[in-house]
Structure 1
Amino acid sequence: MTIKSVGVLGAGTMGRGIAQVFAQRGFQVQLVDNQPSHLQQALLKIQQGIDRDIEKGRVNATERDQALHSIHTSPHLDRFVDCDLVIEAVSEEEPTKIALFQSIDRICPDSTILASNTSAISLTRMAAATNRPDRFMGMHFMNPVVQMDLVELIRALQTSDATHQALHDLTQRIQKTPVTVKDYPGFVSNRILMPMINEAIYTLYEGVASSEDIDAVMTLGMNHPMGPLALADVIGLDTCLVIMNVLHDGFKDSKYRPCPLLQQMVDAGNFGKKSGRGFYPY
């Protein structure tokens, strides 16, 4: 199957990044969000990002204009009717995702592939809620989407070989590196990353060291490009908590228990960079 037109559901940080990547690789993109203000903000952020690339000599103004003209925005799901692929990038709430996929399933032709950018939620359960479980798969892009090379491809139990091959080839067409994993809680990326972040939060919670010093150990001592607490702020502490709960519920293992401080931070509305305060002020 040759994928030419792509739908992206959700115009937040991940959705707009996914839309930009596809648009800059020559795809027609339908970007849908039920909040028109989110769509306006997404287009502005995309243009600003490409303009920075123009300043650095990575792209030119013509390529920017072509990419922006390839992104079509709407608050209505029926804009996905002609898409070969629809990628969902909304909040990490399983009932919300399933309800949206069921709506898209009714709108799109049988040939359309559905994919989720979920960080941890079961693809097998989401696939089972649609009438095309064999054409359902995870495409987990990394943040920031434009800069990060990896796309974690997660096969639901029902995903067909043809669907997997189509998305594997597509990932290479957009100049990303596909890595295929099975549908287990957290997949590979967050099964390894989130417990490390959670342990860094426990280290802070227990008073072992300050946020700055914990991050300094990991950046200067382990050569990580960003400390775990700063990274948690970028990801969003609310998202980190959701993923830790998915791991804890999925494996029934106490080693995945979210740190009480993480829960408190989320309860206080301190989600990290997007809220202006997390382990650091912004």
Structure 2
Amino acid sequence: MRKHTRKFLAATVAAFITAAPATAQTEARQLFGAVEDGSGGVAEPFGSYARGCMAGAMQLAETGPSWQAMRLSRNRNWGHPEMIAFIERLGEAAQQEAGWAGIYVGDISQPRGGPMLTGHRSHQMGLDADIWMLPPERLNLTRQERENISSISVRTEDQRRINGNWTDGHLAVMRAAASDPAVARIFVAAAVKQEMCRVAGPEDTEWLRKIRPWWGHNYHFHVRLTCPAGAGACENQAPIPAGSGCDESLAWWTSDEALNPQPRDPNAPPPTPRREYTLADLPTQCTGVLTR
């Protein structure tokens, strides 16, 4: 980390600890977003996927034998060692199971996790990663090409069906990801889950139940790992319900009610703005993670 950045963080966190009023209101995303490298030491996640931080993160190599990290300017290719190992496994599976060159990896986490300046509410412990839907044709993209290239959507504009970009290879890669024992769940566009349910066999329940519909996942799928063994300060998400997830509740995600919500009553009170977390909102260990 640059010397002036480390000094700034140390001074800011020290002021917070002494309860300086202005510092107590400092948004955690400003603090964690300013850090340029990991903390070193033992890898350990603290808190939850959407309210936490990470010590000892590893940086995913920009290019590997079966992957490339994308949008390097964001500096979000940091993760828990188990996530880095998972990406290596998934890249190999994409080559073997789908015939892809590998995988393009989007955001994982910031160097020390924590809330991000823009984008995600999760990805805070190094246990979340976005895998692009774009099947790589080559793994020698330059840094500039990785800034300019875009992924592809596998969902129609009306959000109700998959489009022509969806292939058997996508299914094979996501099946491999969901079959990995380290994976807790995978978030996809609802139309993707519905297509998987359509073609799945009766023996596919165990991995298919990990595939969960969620908004905003038509250009990538989001992999979430379980808390590593021995990580006592890491909070797992609630368990997934039993079954494949292909029941009648899945249809709601592409219904008129879900896709065309009623406009807000102009006479109703305005919604409460989402509050950004301060350092006080995060696990106490995150103060130390910032200044290591």
Q: Same fold (TM over 0.5)?
A: no
Structure 1-normalised TM-score? 0.30
More helix by share: 1
> RCO (CA 8 Å, sep 6+): is it higher in 1 or 2?
2
Q: TM-score, normalised by structure 2?
A: 0.29
